[in-house]
Structure 1
Amino acid sequence: MDLEIQQFKADFFKALAHPVRIRILELLAGGDKNVNELQSLIGSEGSAMSQQLSILRAKNIVVGTKDGNRVIYSLRDPMLIDLLLVAKQIFNNHFINEINKLDRFNDN
């Protein structure tokens, strides 16, 4: 059972391991969007956007809902917003530590 959970986690993080997919999630954290809106905000081509959304859908990270002739995408779980915020805090902490190392190096 533990191995299954670890595999789920690994697959989940693999699905997040692309800058465009992270950006999609950040945008969806601000509210549901259709493909055209995401393309416009990211500046990505249609085929590339569809590929990234397909990966996120396959891992149940986003969900698409038909609205007439378009699909509206949203985060499957609002806890993803917290995950993105924690990841940003981890990055910021790392960045601050690196700056402090450089400051100490320059002081010597």
Structure 2
Amino acid sequence: MWSDLQQFKADFFKALSHPLRIRILELLSEGEKSVHEIQKNLTSEGSAVSQQLSVLRSKNIVIGRKEGKNVLYSLRDPSTVDLLNVARELFNNHLIDTLSMYEELEDQKNSTKKKGL
């Protein structure tokens, strides 16, 4: 019924469906980081960060590289940065549309008040 590509996309977007995972990816778009560095930047508990990294790792979105006692995480595919940027663009476009609708409603409300005076 579903192609392998459609299933991959669905699984990939499910893996992105948590705000902390998105924030981790945004941090990793700057370069590889240890769990400690990620925690420090997010002011989040280690267990939460580790749990979300585990999800991202299981979907092959991030990879880990052992360096001494630390594991350094990075994006598996640099195209992930492009995807995050497109998502930001979509959000901004949606926000602009929403603000435009709000302004139109305010203008209508104000013109209705003026007519009633």
TM-score range, shorter chain: over 0.9
1:1-108 alignment, distance < 5 Å: 3-108=3-108
| TM-score for the superposition, normalised by structure 1 | 0.97
Residue 11 of structure 2 aligns to a residue whose secondary structure is: helix
Task: Please list every run of at least 4 consecutive aligned residues from structure 1 whose deviation after the TM superposition is greater than 3 angstroms.
Answer: none
Measure the CA separation in 2 of the matches of 1:75 and 1:98: 33
Deviations 1:65-88 (A, max 9, x none): 000000000000000000000000
- The alignment's C-alpha RMSD in Å is 1.1
Q: Which has the higher contact order (CA 8 A, sep 6+)?
A: 1
Gaps of 5+ in 1: none
| TM-score for the superposition, normalised by structure 2 | 0.90
Measure the CA separation in 2 of the matches of 1:28 and 1:50: 14
Displacement, 1:62? 0.2
Measure the CA separation in 2 of the matches of 1:34 and 1:21: 15
Identity of paired residues, percent?
A: 59
**Count of residue correspondences:** 108
Displacement, 1:4? 1.3
Query: What amino acid does structure 2 have at the position aligned with 1:48?
Result: A
Deviations 1:39-86 (A, max 9, x none): 000111111111000000000000000000000000000000000000
Gaps of 5+ in 2: 109-117
Deviations 1:4-55 (A, max 9, x none): 1111100000000000000000000011100000000011111111100000
